[in-house]
Amino acid sequence: MSAISASLDPPPAACVASGSDLTPLELEVIDLFVGATRLIGLPRSLGEIYGFLFISPEPVTLDQLVQRLSISKGSASQGLRALRTIGAVKLSHQPGDRRDHYTAETELKSLVSGFISSQMLPHLETGQTRLGRLRALEESMGSELRPIQRARLEKLVHWHHRARTLAPLAGKFLD
Amino acid sequence: MSAISASLDPPPAACVASGSDLTPLELEVIDLFVGATRLIGLPRSLGEIYGFLFISPEPVTLDQLVQRLSISKGSASQGLRALRTIGAVKLSHQPGDRRDHYTAETELKSLVSGFISSQMLPHLETGQTRLGRLRALEESMGSELRPIQRARLEKLVHWHHRARTLAPLAGKFLD
DNA sequence: GAGTTTGTTCATTTTTTCTTGAACAAAGTC
DNA sequence: GACTTTGTTCAAGAAAAAATGAACAAACTC
């Protein structure tokens, strides 16, 4: 039954990556972010990657991620791209090094609004379309539609509007 | 890659349940809530059940859910329980009917704070424990810990505190 | 107390999601 | 232009999550 009624998950000392040589600090931080990404419905590997970047004092290359986290090159590449599209990871170029280097975005504001605009806004858009179809149905049904149902549809419209106005603001008030 | 970069999911007219006799209205509303539950990381069946209850003018029995949504009794039972634990569904007893009847909670305020207190608060609790372990590590590392890493750990504590104070407030300002 | 109705639990199956690794592209080096 | 280094893509395999349905419990009916 997934997330629901989880709550009593025991906090077992980090159990990330297999035979790797991550430090206890890295393990603990990664574990924390793995939990966080799962909470917001993102795959585990994103938590691992972000956590590792978060606690790394220096920019990190894809290859380092592969080695330290014991994940495949494919995972690392896809994971980094996903993190970049939500704005949680930044690309930086080290002088004299052809490889891409990555750092964690650690501004809460950016993280939140990046997440919202990449995950929620698209849904709100398609929600717009859906509400349009509902409007049409409402018309076509006339008196078959009970008043309470009409009220519920009204509520949907209201929620949607509320979400569209609030979503872009979230994160604005964080530091 | 899951949710990320979804966005361009085509809005195909409802494609819920198989050979059932759901009305177009029901289909459309269910579809909308299926999208919403997926967004917040809840299983599809919860969206179907909630959507059906949401648009039903009368309280609904478990058996009706099984028949109309073409889901198994097990799914319906578990789904309803999950929805009740997050406070999205209320149990009501119809006089002269032994069966349990269910209605959707449609107060946005209740939905939001129910979701938060059942999904986020538990994680914030275990987060507390994790931060404790990090503190310990921080002590034990002494000067091995680079200043920037120290600052990051500080940031984690700050985020956690921020979340714990904000979480219970979310929903308070909705109507 | 045998039979019925209502609802839950849980091992198994099904479906979905994630990860992998090999093939490929792009760009640099000699 | 052959070879290396860096990174991406995507089909296929592995893992995780969700749905099923049969067995069970509880409460009512006669």
Domain chopping of chain B, boundaries: 24-104, 108-166
pLDDT digits (tens, 9 = 90+) for B47-81: 999 999 999 999 999 999 999 999 999 999 999 99
The answer to whether the beta carbons of residues B73 and B62 sit under 8 Å apart is yes
pLDDT at A20: 54
Closest CA of chain A from B38, distance in Å: 9
Which DSSP helix (H) or strand (E) runs through B104?
A: strand B100-104
The residue behind tokens 């459309």 is B28
Give the whole-angstrom CA distance, residue A65 versus residue A104: 13
What are the tokens at A35? 């939990």
Nearest chain A residue to B109, by CA: A159
Which residue type sits at A91?
L
Q: Which of A1, A2, A30, A162 to mutate to probe the B interface, most B CBs <10 Å? A: A1
* Domain B24-104, CATH number (from 2.60.120.620, 3.40.50.2000, 1.10.10.10, 2.60.40.10): 1.10.10.10
**Contact residues, chain B, for A3 at CB < 8 Å:** 41-42, 119
CB contact under 8 A, B3 and A78: no
pLDDT at A41: 86
Q: What angle do CA A140, A141, A145 make, to 5 degrees?
A: 150
CB contact under 8 A, A106 and B13: no
Give the whole-angstrom CA distance, residue B150 versus residue A55: 9
Q: What is the pLDDT along chain A (175 residues), one digit of tens a residue?
A: 444 543 333 334 334 443 458 999 999 999 999 999 998 989 999 999 999 999 999 999 999 999 999 999 999 999 999 999 999 999 999 999 999 999 999 999 999 999 999 999 999 999 999 999 999 999 999 999 999 999 999 999 999 999 999 999 988 888 8
CA-CA-CA-CA torsion for A126, A131, A132, A138, nearest 10 degrees? 160
- B112: helix, strand or coil: helix
What are the tokens at B116? 């938060």
- Say if residue B54 is exposed, middle or buried (CB neighbours under 10 Å; 0-12, 13-18, 19+): buried
Measured CA distances, A79 to A11, A84, A141, B5, B168 (Å): 25, 9, 47, 12, 32
**Contact residues, chain B, for A88 at CB < 8 Å:** none
The answer to whether the beta carbons of residues B115 and A40 sit under 8 Å apart is no
Measured CA distances, B66 to B24, B60, B78 (Å): 18, 11, 12
Q: How far is the CA of B160 from the C1' of C3 (A)?
A: 57
Q: Please tell me which of the candidates A28, A35, A133 has its beta carbon nearest to residue B28.
A: A133
- Say if residue B104 is exposed, middle or buried (CB neighbours under 10 Å; 0-12, 13-18, 19+): buried
> What value does the mean pLDDT of chain B take?
89
Measured CA distances, A40 to A138, B42, B43, B160, B162 (Å): 34, 10, 13, 15, 17
List chain C nucleotides near protein: any atom < 7 Å from a Cβ.
5-11, 17-23, 28-29
List chain D nucleotides near protein: any atom < 7 Å from a Cβ.
5-11, 17-23, 28-29
Tell whether the torsion through CA atoms of A37, A43, A46 and A48 is positive or negative. Answer: positive
